[in-house]
Amino acid sequence: MADSIFRKLRDGGEEGELAPALTIEETVVSPFALDVSCYLLANLSSSILAGKSKSEGLVLVTFSRSPSFYLQFLKQKGIVVSSSSKWIRVLDCYTDPLGWIDQPSTGVTEGPSLVKLNKCVSDLKRLFSSVIDAGREMVGDGKTRFSVAIDSVNELLRHSSMPLVSGLLTDLRSHAQVSSLFWSLNTDLHQEKVTNALEYISTMKANLEPFCPSPDGKRNALENLFLAHQDFGKGRFHVRFKLRKGRVRVMSEEYHVDQTGINLSPISSAESVIAATKSLIPKVHFNLQLSEKERVEKEKVVLPFEHQDHGKSTEIYDGRRTLADGKTEATPLSSGELQADVVSSGKGGEIIYFRDSDDEHPDSDEDPDDDLDI
């Protein structure tokens, strides 16, 4: 399944379409979005170097970690990045995001052109121009494309409003030279409407679900954050793909995080179906299931159309006298009156109807409004 995400990002979108976008969601009990981002970063970098990707360059925008962290990570994966590398550019929004350090805004921190410092993360128009300019330094101004990786949008949302951040991501997706785009988000830090807005922009959503979430809530989860990855490093990795014509495909895998990174493995088919079904159930604020007590109380309710004679056979009177009663026969109608008798079991009853005049014909099939010309 992780390979499916990687292929979507590697192949990019068709000409004239928006670039594929991935949102990687993490929570307090499963804070491993960085591991997933590094996994995709390493695979995408290898694909670009091997010439197997539609994009020929990668722009990495760093907010939560320094550029040296990612360069060291790529080096550990056997991907050597030097100042002369023409396939990657790093936009440093981590070192001085608000411009408090007395350095030129276009200063170079590592290498002559590899890492560029961005000192105003709240100016999203300037940030957009910096990303596009960094990409064009690698691939030029033609039809050659590049990918964009944002390690975290939490810092962007801290300094800018949600409409501005969503506008930045949409502009990057719609740019003709951007092949693919992915970012990470901690859903516990933002309102649900923010999460929904970013999910709407993206074509893929990945989230991590731990095997054993803390039963006591957030308190134990925060305590466990200080423990090693082995305490929180196992769970389910769910991905939802938006397909054409409104279709959705959900896939799941098991993940295990250790010191080498995140490792993904397939789960059994039965468990995969259950996991996919659970992820498709909408989140509602009421319970759709009945408890045993509620079920018993529901069965005791007598509905209006049910017989209420405690299981005994009951004959329902239909308003007509029948010969099956064996008590009396139907009385023929005379010319002067129309009679309709109602006889119930054990009781005699009679309803007599007198016509207003002899002109009124009983059971007439004539339409009284037949003379109207409509």
CATH number of 234's domain:
3.40.50.300
Q: Is the pTM of this model over 0.75?
A: no
pLDDT at 178: 93
Q: Is residue 80 part of a domain?
A: yes
Report the DSSP beta bridge partners of residue 250. 240
Number of domains in the chain: 1
Both tokens of 278, joined, read: 């659970």
Question: 212: domain range?
Answer: 1-101+109-276
Q: Is residue 291 part of a domain?
A: no
Q: Give per-residue pLDDT as tens, 304-339.
A: 766 556 656 656 555 555 545 544 444 544 444 444
Q: Is residue 337 part of a domain?
A: no
Q: Is residue 150 part of a domain?
A: yes
In the predicted model, residues of the chain with pLDDT beneath 50 are 105-112, 215-222, 224-230, 323, 326-330, 332-346
Q: Is residue 302 part of a domain?
A: no
pLDDT at 179: 93
Tell me how far apart the alpha carbons of residues 172 and 180 are, in angstroms, rounded to a whole number. Answer: 9
Tell me how far apart the alpha carbons of residues 118 and 155 are, in angstroms, rounded to a whole number. Answer: 13
What value does the CA radius of gyration of the chain take, rounded to a whole number of Å? 36
Q: Is residue 355 part of a domain?
A: no
Q: Is residue 345 part of a domain?
A: no
Q: Is residue 144 part of a domain?
A: yes
